[in-house]
Amino acid sequence: MISESLEEYLKTMYVLKKQSGNIRVTDIAKKMECSKPSVNKAIQNLKKNNLINYEAYGTIELTEEGEELAKKILETYDIVYLFLKDVLNVEEEKAEKEAEKIKLALTDETTNQLAKYTHKVLGLSNLDCNYDINKEKCRRCVRRKNVI
């Protein structure tokens, strides 16, 4: 388990990878509005947890485990945000802030149940396929159903 702060760094790295293909210390610092020394400290902690590969002054690579965790963090945020905004009608800005806080307190089991409920209420898809936040296959299945 990593801290909320490290989750934010990991999530930012994943987003940067998807946007530009490269993950650099400068880009992380700019996107997160923090100092390069802060980024370097986070990088060392993420490296110790085998979530990234990094050599000084090089690009940062997410490990398979790091990429999976980043996807899970984003997925959990999205589920909580959808529930707050579209099911409970919480104002968008407030839903964004509260989703960040709530996602940290949820277990995987609760997240799975919340996902099933939210998707059912919003009519997005049927999650009776044993949806599991930890299984990429299920997330792809859900997204594919949402697109159709």
In this structure, the answer to whether residues 58 and 74 fall within a common structural domain is no
In this structure, the answer to whether residues 131 and 76 fall within a common structural domain is yes
In this structure, the answer to whether residues 57 and 116 fall within a common structural domain is no
How far apart CA 67 and CA 74 sit, in angstroms, is 11
In this structure, the answer to whether residues 23 and 93 fall within a common structural domain is no
Q: The dihedral of CA 89, 95, 96, 102: what is its sign?
A: negative
In this structure, the answer to whether residues 8 and 32 fall within a common structural domain is yes
CB-based contact 7:54 (threshold 8 Å):
no
In this structure, the answer to whether residues 130 and 97 fall within a common structural domain is yes
Say which amino acid occupies 145.
Answer: K
Residue 17, both tokens: 């990878």
The pLDDT tens digits for 19-62 are 888 899 999 999 999 999 999 999 999 999 999 999 887 889 99
In this structure, the answer to whether residues 74 and 108 fall within a common structural domain is yes
Percent of the chain with pLDDT over 90: 47
Please compute the mean of the pLDDT values over residues 4-29 and round it to a whole number: 91
CA angle 117, 87, 80 (to 5 degrees): 70
* CA neighbor of 67 nearest in space, from 144, 139, 124, 116: 139
pTM for this predicted structure: 0.77
Domain end call among 47, 62, 77: 62
| 88 three-class SS | coil
Residue 141, both tokens: 């299945």
Please compute the mean of the pLDDT values over residues 83-93 and round it to a whole number: 91
Q: According to the model, what pLDDT value does residue 56 have? A: 81
Domain that holds residue 44: 4-62
Q: According to the model, what pLDDT value does residue 144 have? A: 46
In this structure, the answer to whether residues 77 and 125 fall within a common structural domain is yes
Tally of domains within the chain: 2
In this structure, the answer to whether residues 132 and 79 fall within a common structural domain is yes
Q: What is the CATH number of the domain that holds 21?
A: 1.10.10.10
In this structure, the answer to whether residues 39 and 74 fall within a common structural domain is no
Say which amino acid occupies 44.
Answer: Q
In this structure, the answer to whether residues 77 and 53 fall within a common structural domain is no
In this structure, the answer to whether residues 99 and 125 fall within a common structural domain is yes
